[in-house]
Amino acid sequence: MTFSIDSLITQKGRLLATIHETAKWGAKGVWGTRETETGVCRLALSDLDKQVRDWFVKETKSLGCEVKIDQVGNIFAIFPGKNQGKPTGIGSHLDTQPNGGRYDGILGVLSGLEVLRTFKENNYVPNYPIALVNWTNEEGARFPKSMVASGVWAKQIPLQECLNLKSLDKVPVSFGAELKRIGYDGQTKASYLENPLAAHFEIHIEQGPILENEGKKIGVVTGVQAFEWNLVTVKGRSSHAGTTPMNTRSDAILTASRVIVMAVETALKHQGLATVGTLQLEPGSVNVIPNIVKFSLDVRHVEDEILATIMAEIKQKAEQIAQENVDSPHGKPLSIDFENITSSKAIKFNNTNIKTVKDAASQIFKQDEIREITSGAGHDSCFTSTRVPTSMIFIPSKNGISHSPEEYSSPEEVENGFQVLLRTIVLFDEMRALQKA
């Protein structure tokens, strides 16, 4: 008695129209001539965030959802099923970067909404409830801790730490105070135990160029790579650019430059990624050799062990580079120090979820249009995966661009992603019913 998904009538183009409609709450960053060709700036717990939340609550209630707000403002819109039980979750976020686009996070929440709308207008009742979740402050752009609210729900971050987070506004305010101000300080426990999900699916733009470059339509996300952030400090000696012979220098920017090139080459050798995103030097005068250079080093790999190998190799070679400066009786070595800022282990998503996404995608696309992929960026699914079966779906990002107003996926790609999500949710829901039977 398996339900035929193809009997569900979908409204082509409505999801994209909704994406553009909700972009009015924060439209910013014009990059083209059409009205829809802007990005979005909708910082977490801002007035604009309140407006899109109010709209989201109204829309989901009109579909018959019960709406629960938890202690960190996560919104769970629960679409009823035939049976009681933990809801199958679809989640992502409606907050954006300050110079964000129209798709990052938003695509995930609104694709889930489109699933519920499709169910509703087809009078389709799933076997179990479906929870559409808007996670708070995924970006960490206003309150500087990414994915903090899914982290609290998963009991990986203490509630109070989240509520006490200070914003990066000119006049800093706390997460808790802003939550209260916009009326989203809910009563539901922010806890996977007291407000549980049966699973978590998230559709997202890739934010990288792999699908586009390889001509793939759908990414079946199997996990998230491990990463480690270090603040690297090189200390040498400051002196005059004109009067200091080369063989007596301890030039911190020269050593830092050698270390940066080496770090990238080392990561490359192991099929990892290495990025220097920030760099400051002192004293910062054209004719003064810098004595201090500090730079960030972000290194990633899909395997924890290989990431550790890369980092060990980088540190050992960096020490060598700093020592090698001594090429004359008057040279002095520099010091180099790595301070770990943050580490994140590799995440492997749930095999059943991955298979469900793959089966759903296979209903529409040929095998060579589908690709397994590892997420390079963090998502709320990283935290949910620590507590419930989780996986993700990627659609292509034009030129791999994201966190930019120019972030773009074509109408066809947006539609493709929705169709895969719809089938994933139906397949997963049917599987739950079969397992129970």
Residue ranges in contact with its own copies by CB under 8 A: 206-210, 213, 225, 227, 229, 238-246, 248, 251, 253-254, 256-258, 260-261, 264, 267-268, 273, 275-279, 281, 284-290, 296, 298, 300, 329-330, 341, 375-378, 400-404
Nearer to its own copies, 260 or 388 (CB): 260
Q: For the CB of residue 334, give the shortest distance to its own copies in the complex, in Å.
A: 14
Q: For the CB of residue 161, give the shortest distance to its own copies in the complex, in Å.
A: 20
Q: For the CB of residue 347, give the shortest distance to its own copies in the complex, in Å.
A: 12
Nearer to its own copies, 82 or 330 (CB): 330
- Three-class HEC string of the chain: CCCCHHHCCCCCCHHHHHHHHHCCCCEEEECCCCCCCEEECCCCCCHHHHHHHHHHHHHHHHCCCEEEEECCCCEEEEECCCCCCCCEEEEECCCCCCCECCCCCHHHHHHHHHHHHHHHHCCCCCCCCEEEEECCCCCCCCCCCCCHHHHHHCCCCCHHHHHHCECCCCCCCEHHHHHHHCCCCCCECCCCCCCCCCEEEEEEECCCCHHHHHCCCEEEEEEECEEEEEEEEEECECEECCCCCHHHCECHHHHHHHHHHHHHHHHHHCCCEEECCCEEEECCCCCEECCEEEEEEEEEECCHHHHHHHHHHHHHHHHHHHHCCCCCCCCCCCEEEEEEEEEECCEECCHHHHHHHHHHHHCCCCHHHEEEEEECCCCHHHHHCCCCCEEEEEECCHHHCCCCCCCCCCHHHHHHHHHHHHHHHHHHHHHHHHHHC
Nearer to its own copies, 11 or 278 (CB): 278
Q: For the CB of residue 2, give the shortest distance to its own copies in the complex, in Å.
A: 37
Q: For the CB of residue 122, give the shortest distance to its own copies in the complex, in Å.
A: 35
Nearer to its own copies, 191 or 404 (CB): 404
Nearer to its own copies, 49 or 251 (CB): 251
Nearer to its own copies, 30 or 268 (CB): 268
Q: For the CB of residue 93, give the shortest distance to its own copies in the complex, in Å.
A: 16
